[in-house]
């Protein structure tokens, strides 16, 4: 079956949401009027999510199901869905019904203007301010400033991508929320549209305040990937040159004191600092050279999957 749209939805312990999700998503996509497929990635659910997904697949083959052997995380779920997607446009969403499927036509209309990525922007969020919205606002500002791709809501899973964009992005860790930034090296055009945010009806959220700290750490990774992934020597070597230069200047100053002024420098902590700076500088340059070789190997031969599939329903 040829599909224009591929809807990718990772899922973990969302049995109660599956039937409402099927009903709402089917109704929304029927209004769009395009051929579609829905790829549900069961991320090692421990409830009866897979049994309910199997029942949906049996009555609607457009719903394809990928089941992981264990819980690999949301990034792995999106990656598996992207690998399996056959549509020209890939739309991502959550399974908890907080994203409104009726916003999908709005994303597609914006993409028709020529954009490669259209991101949902939850203007009126229904979550607690201190524990969810405030950390999200701070994170969005930091991510936008560090990556150069300005979005008000990186955390919204409701996004639309052209297939060639997601097919060329390698995901690992928890980098799914940074896809627009990671793909920016391709020269993609990104837009936002306001979308509806709804309160969770069934189950409970899988995310807490600890996710904020993970976002900050992942941001460092993304910034390195965008700026120095193909030239790590520039950051390590540059830092090494600065340290070495400081050490050499300090050493010259101490040499002047010793030779011109006749003062003793052997017991001065500054001498140890000068030696340490030069040694650290050489080490940083060496690390940069090693990183260059590692990244060359990564780009040329890296093909290690980040997930293991147990079952597939619908190929």
Q: Judge if 270 and 225 occupy the same domain.
A: no
pLDDT at res. 181: 83
Query: Which of 210, 229, 248 is the last residue in one of the domains?
Result: 229
Could you tell me if 10 and 207 are in contact, meaning their C-beta atoms sit under 8 angstroms apart?
no
Q: How confident is the model at residue 205 (pLDDT cuts 50, 70, 90)?
A: low
The tens digit of pLDDT for each residue in 124-144 reads 877 766 666 777 787 788 888
Cα torsion angle, 216, 221, 225, 227, sign? positive
pLDDT at res. 42: 95
The tens digit of pLDDT for each residue in 53-66 reads 999 999 999 999 99
Report how many domains make up the chain: 2
Q: Judge if 255 and 113 occupy the same domain.
A: no
Q: Judge if 35 and 75 occupy the same domain.
A: yes
Q: Judge if 14 and 76 occupy the same domain.
A: yes
Could you tell me if 92 and 78 are in contact, meaning their C-beta atoms sit under 8 angstroms apart?
yes
The three-state (H, E, C) secondary structure of 233-300, written as one string: HHHHHHHHHHHHHHHHHHHHHHHHHHHHCCCCCCCCHHHHHHHHHHHHHHHHHHHHHHHHHHHHHHHH
Q: Residue 313 falls within a domain, yes or no?
A: no
Q: Judge if 184 and 262 occupy the same domain.
A: no
Greater pLDDT, 91 or 212: 91
Residues 6+ apart with CB under 8 A from 302: 170
Q: Judge if 141 and 207 occupy the same domain.
A: yes
The model's pTM is 0.74
Query: Which of 193, 214, 229 is the last residue in one of the domains?
Result: 229
Q: Residue 311 falls within a domain, yes or no?
A: no
Q: Judge if 107 and 244 occupy the same domain.
A: no
Q: Judge if 48 and 182 occupy the same domain.
A: yes
Q: Residue 305 falls within a domain, yes or no?
A: no
pLDDT at res. 288: 81
Q: Judge if 134 and 253 occupy the same domain.
A: no
Q: Judge if 67 and 139 occupy the same domain.
A: yes
Q: Please check the confidence at residue 119 and state whether its pLDDT lies above 70.
A: yes
C-alpha span between 271 and 160 (Å, rounded): 58
Q: Residue 83 falls within a domain, yes or no?
A: yes
Q: Please check the confidence at residue 253 and state whether its pLDDT lies above 60.
A: yes
CATH of the domain at 222: 3.90.550.10
Query: Which of 229, 250, 271 is the last residue in one of the domains?
Result: 229
Cα torsion angle, 290, 295, 297, 302, sign? positive
Q: Judge if 274 and 290 occupy the same domain.
A: yes
Q: Judge if 209 and 240 occupy the same domain.
A: no
Q: Is 302 left (phi over 0), alpha (psi -120 to 50) or beta?
A: beta
Domain interval for residue 258: 232-297
Q: Please check the confidence at residue 302 and state whether its pLDDT lies above 70.
A: no
Tracing tokens 């908890």 back to the chain, one arrives at 96
Greater pLDDT, 81 or 271: 81
């Amino acid at each position: 079956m040829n599909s224009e749209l591929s809807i990718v939805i990772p899922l973990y312990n969302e049995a109660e949401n599956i039937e409402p999700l099927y009903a709402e998503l089917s109704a929304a996509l029927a209004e769009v009027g395009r051929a579609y497929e829905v790829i549900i990635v069961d991320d090692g659910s421990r409830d009866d999510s897979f049994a309910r997904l199997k029942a949906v697949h049996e009555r609607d083959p457009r719903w394809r199901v990928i089941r992981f052997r264990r819980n690999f995380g949301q990034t792995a779920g999106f990656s598996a869905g992207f690998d399996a997607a056959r549509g020209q446009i890939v739309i991502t969403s959550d399974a908890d019904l907080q994203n409104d499927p009726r916003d999908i036509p709005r994303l597609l209309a914006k993409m028709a203007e020529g954009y490669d990525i259209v991101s949902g922007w939850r203007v009126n969020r229904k979550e607690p301010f201190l524990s969810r919205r405030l950390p999200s606002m701070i994170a969005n500002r930091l991510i936008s400033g560090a990556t150069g791709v300005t979005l008000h809501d990186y955390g919204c899973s409701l996004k639309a991508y052209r297939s060639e964009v997601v097919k060329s992005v390698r995901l690992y860790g928890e980098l799914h929320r940074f896809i627009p930034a990671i793909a920016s090296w391709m020269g993609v055009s990104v837009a936002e549209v306001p979308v509806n945010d709804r309160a969770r009806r069934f189950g409970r959220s899988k995310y807490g305040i600890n996710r904020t700290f993970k976002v900050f750490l992942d941001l460092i990774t993304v910034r390195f990937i965008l700026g120095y992934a193909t030239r790590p020597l520039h950051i390590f070597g540059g830092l090494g040159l600065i340290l070495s230069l400081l050490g050499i200047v300090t050493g010259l100053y101490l040499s002047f004191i010793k030779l011109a002024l006749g003062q003793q420098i052997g017991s001065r902590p500054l001498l140890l600092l000068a030696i340490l700076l030069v040694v650290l500088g050489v080490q940083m340059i060496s690390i940069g050279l090693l990183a260059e070789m590692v990244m060359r190997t990564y780009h040329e031969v890296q093909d290690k999957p980040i997930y293991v599939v147990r079952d597939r329903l619908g190929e």
